[in-house]
Structure 1
Amino acid sequence: MSEENQGFMGAVWETIKTIFWALIIAGIFRTLFFQPFWIPSSSMKDTLLVGDFLFVNKMAYGYSYASCPNIKIARFGVDIDAKDICGFLDGDNSRVWGGEPERGDVVVFRHPVTHQDYIKRLIGLPGDTVQVTGGVVQINGEAVTVEDGGTFEEIKEAQGPEGRYPRCYNDPVGEGGVCVKERLIETLPNGVTHSTLNIADGQDLDDTPVFTVPEGQYFFMGDNRDNSTDSRVAQTSFGVGMVPYENLIGRADRIMFSSAGRSMLFFWTWRGDRFFKGIE
């Protein structure tokens, strides 16, 4: 082999090694510290909008099998579940260097049945009772404080890669029209204040039975209360139900980037006012 060919093959090998180690380092960083998360649905409006991009703080609650990523590349038939990588941490509902989440945290967790990653707000702690009556959350028999927050308005148009249309309090609204939702300010017992949205009164999930949160599990709800599949729905491939401690992935603290379009590359749809925005 000529010196020229040897030099070329050497450069190729060095490139392969560089890419390999870069992927290893990125995988370790993603597993131990921060996981990227792109908001795909409207269940957390107006706290989180479709197209918000954030990093999930995995150090907040320690580590479990759920800290390892799911690796899914449908085009190449790759479907590796977190349990396939970190299954040795599964089974006892505990965590390494575990930290307790606080009521009101916005948390990314692994769905107990489908193993998909969800993001919701923590409402009920172990031992709590939770009920929704007339759209108002009751925790341990006491209604949370709710105040008028005005309205939330957006354009009735397809949103995000999935192209879903928002539901509106003032429906029917034609495409391109102003979609209005009632906005409320909710204060939880520990003083955490955040906004929620109401699309319509008298919805199925506006009145629920009393849920008792078991030890080692948590009760989650979306801020867009009439458009969220959460712990109010029994645990199935559709409903979330109670979420075990070991299924928590991390806490969402800050939006890093946001795009209102169907791709992050559509720079004309970027929401500059949401860059580095804190999550309340």
Structure 2
Amino acid sequence: MSKAEPKVGKKKNEAVETIVVVIEALIIALLFRTFLYQPFSIPTASMQSTLMIGDYFIANKWAWGFGKYSFPLPLPFNGRLLSFATPQQGDIAVFHNITGDDYIKRVIGMPGDKIQMKAGRLYINGTMIERQQVGTGEDIDSGKTGVPVTIYNETLPNGVVHTIQEISDSDQLDDTPEYIVPAGHYFMMGDNRDRSADSRVLQQVGYVPLDAFIGKAEARFFSIKNNLPPWQLWEWPANVRWDRMFQAVNQTYTKTPAP
């Protein structure tokens, strides 16, 4: 029996080392997710075609510091920790919504801005925002219902150009009252303007406080059609969107003012 004892001890040591390695890996993953980057997926059509149903992306958790919803469980404090920047017009942001869900939309209105939709056109502080038609397409929602859309490049007041799409200029949220964004809040809108519940719907989203921001969307790392689960590897050949992987979530650029 004495000859077998070292082997038993060695097996116990290996088991303990394995458990320690697993625990360390979980702690590192938790710290990475909490303080650096968090993965998200897109289940709805509200940001198409910038972010399509079945896109997976990472959000930068430290871009605007850390708020109460930056952590796995909300913490009881107000404000942001280690904040050296704030969201800007054109940023795509993940935030904790008043419904208790995490939403992703684009920052359109800054604190104090006046926002309104008139006949499908966006007005910021009384000025109609420039848009230019760049094409047409078909938008397919989570119910696999397709509708024709017109695609535009929209130029925000700070010069950021991004893509939006419209079913028409006479849809439900294409004519709204004027919204005045409160201090410390932001006005968020989806790029798929006629299929987005956003700050235009005050009872569902409304003005988003800075405290509610979770992170800034940065890059897609996976994309699959029909919102199929990524673990279904046999579905990959026909459904993975290889051309959407490992790309910035939005090809925005800043328009240089004319001389």
The normalised TM-score by structure 2 is 0.87
User: Which of residues 198, 212, 235 in structure 2 aligns to 1:247?
Assistant: 212
Q: Which residue of 2 aligns with 1:277?
A: 247
User: Which of residues 19, 23, 27 in structure 2 aligns to 1:24?
Assistant: 27
Q: Measure how far apart 1:115 and its partner are.
A: 2.8
Q: Which residue of 2 aligns with 1:67?
A: 70
Q: Which amino acid aligns with 1:164?
A: G
> Does residue 200 in structure 1 map to residue 186 in structure 2?
no
Q: Deviations over 1:131-180 (max 9, x none)?
A: 011111100000100111211236x6xx7xxx532441xxxxxxxxxxx3
CA contact (8 A) 2:117 2:175 kept: yes
Q: Which residue of 2 aligns with 1:267?
A: 236
CA RMSD of aligned residues (A): 1.8
CA contact (8 A) 1:64 1:96 kept: no
Q: Measure how far apart 1:201 and its partner are.
A: 3.9
Q: Which amino acid aligns with 1:190?
A: N
Q: Which residue of 1 aligns with 2:256?
A: none
Aligned to 2:173, the other structure's residue is in SS state: helix
User: Which of residues 104, 107, 118 in structure 2 aligns to 1:133?
Assistant: 118
Aligned to 2:69, the other structure's residue is in SS state: helix
Q: Which residue of 2 aligns with 1:97?
A: 83
CA contact (8 A) 2:121 2:169 kept: no
Q: Distance in 2 between matches of 1:217 and 1:114?
A: 17
Q: Distance in 1 between matches of 2:183 and 2:134?
A: 34
Q: Which residue of 1 aligns with 2:153?
A: 185
Q: Deviations over 1:171-192 (max 9, x none)?
A: xxxxxxxxx3211221111111
CA contact (8 A) 2:134 2:153 kept: yes
Q: Which residue of 1 aligns with 2:47?
A: 44
The more displaced of 53-62 and 137-146 is: 53-62
Rg: which structure is higher?
A: 2
Q: Distance in 2 between matches of 1:66 and 1:166?
A: 33
Q: Measure how far apart 1:205 and its partner are.
A: 0.6
CA contact (8 A) 1:137 1:143 kept: yes
> Does residue 228 in structure 1 map to residue 196 in structure 2?
yes
Q: Which residue of 2 aligns with 1:151?
A: 136
Going from structure 1 to structure 2, the CA distance change for 1:164 and 1:13 (only over 3 Å counts) comes to farther
Report how many residues are paired.
Answer: 242
Q: Which residue of 1 aligns with 2:92?
A: 106
Q: Measure how far apart 1:24 and its partner are.
A: 0.8
Aligned to 1:67, the other structure's residue is in SS state: coil
Going from structure 1 to structure 2, the CA distance change for 1:263 and 1:16 (only over 3 Å counts) comes to same
Q: Distance in 1 between matches of 2:102 and 2:6?
A: 51
Q: Deviations over 1:214-258 (max 9, x none)?
A: 1100000000011111100013xxx11011101111111222221
Q: Distance in 1 between matches of 2:66 and 2:119?
A: 38
Q: Percent identity?
A: 40
User: Which of residues 165, 176, 179 in structure 1 aligns to 2:144?
Assistant: 165
Q: Deviations over 1:248-270 (max 9, x none)?
A: 11111222221114122332111
Q: Distance in 1 between matches of 2:10 and 2:137?
A: 62
Unpaired runs of 5+ in structure 2? 253-259
CA contact (8 A) 1:147 1:185 kept: yes
Q: Distance in 2 between matches of 1:94 and 1:212?
A: 23
Q: Distance in 2 between matches of 1:114 and 1:103?
A: 24
CA contact (8 A) 1:132 1:206 kept: yes
Q: Which amino acid aligns with 2:23?
A: F
